[in-house]
Amino acid sequence: SFRLLVKADRGGKVEGTKDFSSFQEVSPKEYSISGEGEVVPIRYNPILHIGRYTFRIGVSDMCGNQVKSDLGDFQEMVFYVEKEPDLSPPKIRVYANEREISDGDVLDSQPHFVLIIEDDHGLDIKTLRVRFGSELEGPSELKEGEYKLDFSNAQPDKAMLFFEPDCPNGRYVLQVDVADTSENKASRELHIEINEPVRLEKLINVPNPISKDTVFYYYLTQQPDDVTIKIYAFTNRLVRTIEHASAERKYNEEYWDCTDKNGRPLANGVYLYKVTVKVGHRKIERIGKLAILR
């Protein structure tokens, strides 16, 4: 069996005493005993302020023999604490697109997150957990490969974590948990909204010139209400309208067989096409040129 007591000495001569009233017994939950045998390590990490302390230790073996001293069935050890304990948790700052953000902020572009975590006495980087996701589905922990961590054991007081999620417009939650080497824990939770404008980019048709048919390719930063493609002869005459073309977020493809509105193949020549993206009462238009050469 094992019994551990601790006492804070308040100055004066250090003397052994049989008095137990000034000692505080340490709960077995606060220390750990490793293994069995003749030598048994005991790990105890108390939080003690600057001062002088006395440990009183009572031990008995499997046969009931107890450790002895002149004071009784225990041993005492006096030690000094010269530094105040680390009671401060790590500090967590969150940046998105090169500016520090707070709970409730609105971002008008895809977020490029940088988490800066600092602690004067050193971070326990194994405790770092970052979760991100929509408010509707709930956040999930970032997996290896979804982020980049900049941390060195040689400089354990600071860590930087980078990640760039791909987000449709909506509300999201970011959660960060970490502890330092003194087991002080810190948590941060931010709710943000992403409201990125719809943009039409990377418009092209392939093949061009066309011998039989073609595909229009384009990129949408966010999902719009509708997309329409109109093809004009070089005389500005409308020859074909493709209603409700592909309107997905990111890359889109829309097939065209190079026929007019009556299904007849168009003649060789140069044509213009206009892609119109509708978002509420707003329209985004881009114009391209193609050639038919059968």
What pLDDT does residue 37 have?
Answer: 66
17 has a pLDDT exceeding 50: no
- β-strand partners of 72: 69
What pLDDT does residue 90 have?
Answer: 96
* Average of per-residue pLDDT across 251-266: 95
CA distances from 65 to 33, 39, 61, 74, 227 (A): 19, 16, 5, 12, 88
Domain ranges of the chain: 2-81, 91-194, 200-292
pLDDT in tens, 107-133: 999 999 999 999 988 999 999 999 999
Tokens linked to 167: 């987000």
* Average of per-residue pLDDT across 133-140: 95
What pLDDT does residue 13 have?
Answer: 36
What is the reported pTM?
A: 0.71
Q: How confident is the model at residue 99 (pLDDT cuts 50, 70, 90)?
A: very high
What pLDDT does residue 3 have?
Answer: 57
pLDDT in tens, 63-78: 777 778 777 787 887 8
In the chain, count H helices and then E strands.
0, 23
Which burial class, exposed, middle or buried, applies to 56 when counting CB atoms under 10 A from its CB (0-12, 13-18, 19+)?
A: buried
Domains 91-194 and 200-292 share a fold: yes
Closest by CA to 101, choosing from 119, 114, 117, 118, is 114
55 has a pLDDT exceeding 70: yes
Which burial class, exposed, middle or buried, applies to 179 when counting CB atoms under 10 A from its CB (0-12, 13-18, 19+)?
A: buried
* Average of per-residue pLDDT across 152-174: 95
Which CATH number does 200-292 carry? 2.60.40.4070
Which CATH number does 91-194 carry? 2.60.40.1220
